[in-house]
Homo-oligomer: A and B are copies of this chain.
Amino acid sequence: MKRIEGGVTAARGFQAAAAAAGIKYRDRDDMAMIYSAFPCQAAGVFTSNVVQAAPVRWDREIVRQSKTNGSVRAVVVNAGIANACTGEDGRRACRETAEAAAEALSIGADQVLLASTGVIGAYLPLEKLANGVKLLTSRLSDTADASLSASRAIMTTDTVNKEIAAECTLGGKTCRIGAISKGVGMIEPNMCTMLCFVTTDAAVSADMLDKALRFAVADSYNMISVDGDMSTNDSLLILANGQAGNPLITEEDEDYRVFAETLREMLIEQAKKHAADGEGATALFETRVLHADSAEHARVLAKSVVNSMLTKAAIFGHDANGGRILCALGYAGVSFDPEQVDLTIESAAGKVPLYRAGAKLDYDEEEATRVLSEKTVTAVCDMHAGDAEATAWGCDLSYDYVKINADYRS
């Protein structure tokens, strides 16, 4: 993957903007817009929670319709209120926001995607939203600064904004992919962190865009976890406007593979930022499962470890509590021989084998604590059962996670 500067405006033909609409926050931007001067193919993956926020339902329908006409033009996002569990009022807020954007941008309401993040069960103030949309439209810009502002406007409990962009060559043409995303709580690895928006100037058919997105998400956003709570609002949207001029990707050829692999590597980097910025986190906690008997089992095992509250608390305490890791593998719902498993912890400070063949080794506790005191720590679990592997990312469980979530609404 060739990284380049910027975010969603790195891809040609895309503009972005941020504005302070006063929806919930004071003294900060809380709305963002992404706009393409050209119609886009769109694809999306959304929360699998039975309780789905109104904008998720809206987007599913717009993405479905766009399969036939590829005419998506804009995404409007607000932070502070999730517009989930809001019934008919919530649907009305979606309709009116899309209509306000359509009027301001002189496009159709069915060309507008929506996303909300924040408190569940609170109602969006319609007039503020409509005013916000007008402000956003007047500020649209294709500069890197515009993407940066948008990436900041969508943050809730995030402590850092999250942008990424990369370049690849498709049919001799340079194509760009950019993304902004947010979400560091209510995150659980079954699709995905709360919001991620990807733009690309590559020409890709709707089907291939959808396929590439699902391929990329499986190893990235679906492999991170902060707290095991799957949000009602998770949305990952990708818009492709074809302005790079590459030959349209319509099948799984070499161009498709280059595009999908670039997207996958980008989203892995981006997803790890969410885990590292997990609410209250002091460390990124990576778990690599090696030699599992199937790819699916490897994923399930790796996720079970990064989700284990006891393991997360031990990581916070820099405690080499390998037993909790083996325990979390054991309740993942996958059958394996515990007396085959090797467990090693690794970081920039070194590597310490904790268990071999399921039994504890006589390692140096001080050295283990040193290894676990880095900002990124990895548990490597070798199952000795096959050839499959997977990596999952989470974070430690700190006092601050409790503090943040015990009074998030206030």
A interface with B by C-beta (< 8 Å): 48-52, 82, 84-89, 119-123, 185-186, 188, 190, 227-232, 307-311, 313-314, 316-317, 319, 321-324, 326-332, 334-336, 338-339, 354-355, 357-360, 397-399, 401-410
Contacts and interface: CB of A to CB of B under 8 A. Distances in A.
B323 A82 contact: yes
Nearest 3 pairs of A and B residues by beta carbon: A120-B323, A317-B406, A51-B330
A6 B201 CA distance: 75
Given A229-B327, A231-B327, A327-B120, A50 B405 contact: no
Max count, chain B CB within 10 A of own CB: residue among A311, A338, A360: A360
B329 A51 contact: yes
A119 B314 CA distance: 13
Nearest to A229: B310
Contacts of A328: 229
B402 A402 contact: yes
Max count, chain B CB within 10 A of own CB: residue among A123, A310, A399, A404: A310
A75 to B, nearest CB: 23
A307 B404 CA distance: 18
Given A336-B50, A398-B402, A402-B313, A327 B230 contact: yes
Nearest to A48: B331
B314 A405 contact: yes
Contacts of A85: 322-323, 326, 338, 355, 358-360
A314 B232 CA distance: 17
Contacts of A86: 359-360
A402 B409 contact: no
23 contacts: A48-B331, A50-B338, A51-B329, A52-B338, A85-B326, A87-B339, A120-B322, A120-B327, A121-B323, A122-B360, A123-B360, A185-B310, A190-B331, A228-B228, A228-B307, A229-B327, A230-B331, A314-B406, A317-B405, A319-B407, A321-B408, A397-B402, A399-B399
Contacts of A314: 405-406, 408
Contacts of A398: 402
Contacts of A401: 309, 313, 402
Contacts of A336: 50
A162 B401 CA distance: 31
